[in-house]
Structure 1
Amino acid sequence: MTAQPVLDFHVRLAPRPGAAARLLAALDDCGLARAVVCAGGTIDLDTLARQLTDGGHVETDADNDAVLAACAGTDRRLVPFWFANPHRPPGAYRERAAEFRGLEVSPAVHGVALTDPRVTALVEVAADNGHPVYTVCLARPGAGVADLVSLARRFPQTDFVLGHSGIGNIDFHALALIRDEPNILLETSGGYTCVAEAAIDRLGAARVVFGSEYPLQHPAVELAKFTAIATTPADWRQIAWENAHRLLGEEKP
């Protein structure tokens, strides 16, 4: 699937020695031209897994400076997103928004619902700066796909990206919920091939973006998903390249 250029819309970078070099090597190995980078390492995976099952949260700040440093000097190959901590006022994001290209909020990590005024305040900053908003929904009150729909309707000029193919591996219901919301796109990491295929069919290729969730998922695995469903070259170019550039407010190279 890499005969056409690919922008991976969701990778993570933990503030660890050599992490940036390993990320670039993984992109090279898979033939990926660019990637949107969010901070990783904000929560250890055992704690995250427990929170996904039982609830809970951390109030740890993401290392956005490490992301910015890694992206610098890559000639726009790595694109930095601000990973917000809703337990903090939005002032830091507002002050530094020009250095970043988008916003991520994570109910799974910080435990703050998409319906919470603190998230709304962050999205207001994103809207003021033309940033897309990436989030992952959960099967709990205030953090579901229907809650994302409500948030997106309040900001119709702002693009939202529903990560990981919705909730779980087979979330056809998410596709139904976002179908009539043109400012919500679906990022396909994690979901089964049947969901990716249905997303193209039900939403259209113009509302689907490729992402891998590296390093938790190797990009090669997510690329194989689109090979398996025999994505047409025209659809693949939109999913892998054109839609991401539109979200970033960039002309397609």
Structure 2
Amino acid sequence: MAGIGFMFYKSTLHQRITVHVLNGPEVHFKCFFIIFSLPMQIEPHDYIAELFNNILQFNNILTDFDRDIWSYISLGYFKQITKAGEIGSSTMPHKVNPIDFENSEGNLCLANAILSALSMKLPVSRMQRDLTDSTVLRNLGVGLGYSLVAYKSALQGIKKLQVNESRLIEDLEQTWEVLAEPIQTVMRRHAVPEAYEKLKELTRGREVSKQSIREFTETLDLPEEAKAILLNLTPNSYIGEAEELAKSVDEAVDLVNGFKLH
């Protein structure tokens, strides 16, 4: 069987080269076929599968983003700018639904289902002969179309977002337990024994306040400079390089704004 397959391949390759040489004798087809020395009898659509798999990964990232923003809106971290005449909930007129992100997520779900099916189906053909790809290829635009609708919906939703600073500050002021991380790290750096266990005892299952954090920090056997840094920390100021990293996103935003979806 292997011998028959090899002979079939050789005859097919020879036939292809012969046809090309007949139609373009001035072209060095032997050099060309060095790059594509093992051709198939059909175009295998592998580039389409690769492209759609990449789009799938991007769509998954955007789906995650849509869900996170939905959650941030639910928590009150973001407000949504309303438009005159815009309809909200059918039973709660005061409510502003995150409809753009929900619409984006739904369309991404449909897009990924189609793109996934296409990327798995198109490279497969019985004996490099069947025509099932013919009907499948007619749906290329469907998966891409759903993706495009999702992108537009997400962008539209982003434009409506407004940071709710008062809600963020309120949340930060009530979460002093986040300082357990830097305190434990500094304790470990200065070889304070049982750093994790001590912070666990202080924070797990307990209400942590500014006072309890300060009292705990005061008792630590740390250099005065290190202790002063910890005592000056607040949930609002414990952000590290986050501000600079966030500003660097402007470069990516400029890049995205240069490519407008019409």
Q: Common fold, TM-score beyond 0.5?
A: no
Bigger strand fraction = 1
Task: Find the structure with the greater CA-based Rg.
Answer: 2
TM-score by length of 1: 0.19
TM-score by length of 2: 0.19
Bigger helix fraction = 2
